[in-house]
Amino acid sequence: MKKKIPYTIRLFIAGFIFIFSILAFTGIFYPLNFLDIEFSALSQRLLCNISAAAIILFSVLIIITLIFGRIYCSLFCPLGILQELAALIIYRKKNEAGKNHIFKYILSGLIFGVLIAGSVLFIRYTDPYTIFGSAISGTVFGITAVFIILTIVFFKNRFFCTNICPVGTILGLISKFSVNKIHMSKECISCGMCERNCPAACIDAGDNKIDNERCIKCFKCISVCPKDAIKYSRKPKEEVKFSIKRREVITGIAFLTTLGAGFAMGINFAKNTAKKVKNIILPAGSENTERMQNTCLNCNLCIENCPNKILTKADDKFGAVHIDYRKGEKYCKYDCHKCSQVCPSGAIKKISLEEKQKTRIAMAMINENCDKCKNCVRECPTGAIVYEQDSYRVDGSKCIGCGKCKTYCPNNAIEIFAVKEQSVI
């Protein structure tokens, strides 16, 4: 039937996005950086490493929301799509009209206030994109968070998306001004089919009202309406007197207050984080430990797509992605900058391969165990190891700290030390 077309098309596109997201987060297939459009990652990239590409992508995302409403949540968000799939299996209740809880505005204001101030400390644990990526890559946090969210789905369907998710809250506020909205026409007979099938609980069939702030534009209501009375288009203008509701005023004040509070907290977090961390080696383009700690979302996309598997997840040693040369026979490949290419948040800057090959991320040092086998000399891609006074030493002006020499040294005669700040040699 014609009314099922929007719902079917949306499901088809969402299915492809979901499959490609899994393939990307498992490092199997990621030819196009489509995850660069994830809202939180793109927001972070815009804040920490502003570029023309970031501005254009962010503007496109906002324009899409202003035209089509909150379609991002049902089309592009992998965690949202996962919840939709889960609801088909585990959710058996019928939805009833819900409401916007003021808690979500407070939470969102706090999280984005901290983010704007320069710290990802809060959004790292609440962002749907990061949660999904963490779960797929097998972290305890990610798996636990997904389990909790799917438990919520069992009782309340998409409650996480409509009343907890900070990204959903921001997009919902933008959607209040969208050109196209879901609305009911005069043909509505108030049968309640749309309300009972709405996963976002945003329809009140009795009053013929649809809350387009919570509506995720899944188009399910259109597909189940027996009278074709639900439309997705420009809503006919109604002559309504301007009035500001008390609840909206309180909501606005709460959001702005927590945004400011979050900003003040974020400045403090950004200044104090990673100060005690030493000897941590980071991917080229990360610059330093403080910046990486404050910008990395820990989505682990770079880890799963690293061909040499040299990157490691956040741990008790360092709270963000970093390099661990102790992970077997591993080193940072000289002709690879995959982590820089796939990072959507700007934590690892998008630098060229030539720039990466000239960026010092660490320094090598030869100790007394050296037996002059020359393996390090043959393998060093920058020619940094030289013979001098009957021994071998590392030329600091050429070493980039890739760790290849250490990997091929049979006598454990080479040590790699982190640098305080990455630099171009």
| Span 130-171, pLDDT tens digits | 999 999 999 999 999 999 999 999 999 999 999 999 999 999
Choose the weakest-confidence range: 2-11, 190-199, 305-314, 323-332. Answer: 323-332
Quick one: pLDDT band at residue 91, thresholds 50, 70, 90? confident
Does residue 242 have a pLDDT over 50?
no
Q: What is the DSSP string of 330-341?
A: ----TT--HHHH
pLDDT of residue 50: 81
Q: Are 298 and 124 in contact (CB under 8 A)?
A: yes
Q: 289-424 in CATH: which number?
A: 3.30.70.20
Please, which pLDDT band fits residue 381 given cuts at 50, 70 and 90?
A: very high
What mean pLDDT value characterizes the chain?
Answer: 90
Instruction: Kindly report the number of other CB atoms within 10 A of residue 318's CB atom.
Output: 22
Contact 24, 341 (CB under 8 A): no
Among 68-72, 245-249, 306-310, 348-352, the range scoring the smallest mean pLDDT is 245-249
Write down the pLDDT at residue 90.
Answer: 87
Residues near 249 by beta carbon (within 8 Å), at least 6 away in sequence: none
Question: Rounded to two decimals, what is the model's pTM?
Answer: 0.91
Helix axes 78-90, 140-156, angle to 10 degrees: 50
Tokens 């049902």 map to which residue?
74
| CA end-to-end distance (rounded Å), the chain | 64
More confident residue, 3 or 65: 65
Angle, helices 166-175/39-48, rounded to nearest 10 degrees:
90
Quick one: pLDDT band at residue 388, thresholds 50, 70, 90?
confident
Nearest to 37 by CA among 73, 85, 81: 73
Percent of the chain exceeding pLDDT 70 equals: 95
Sequence ranges of the domains in the chain: 2-234, 289-424
pLDDT of residue 276: 64
Average pLDDT over residues 242-265: 79
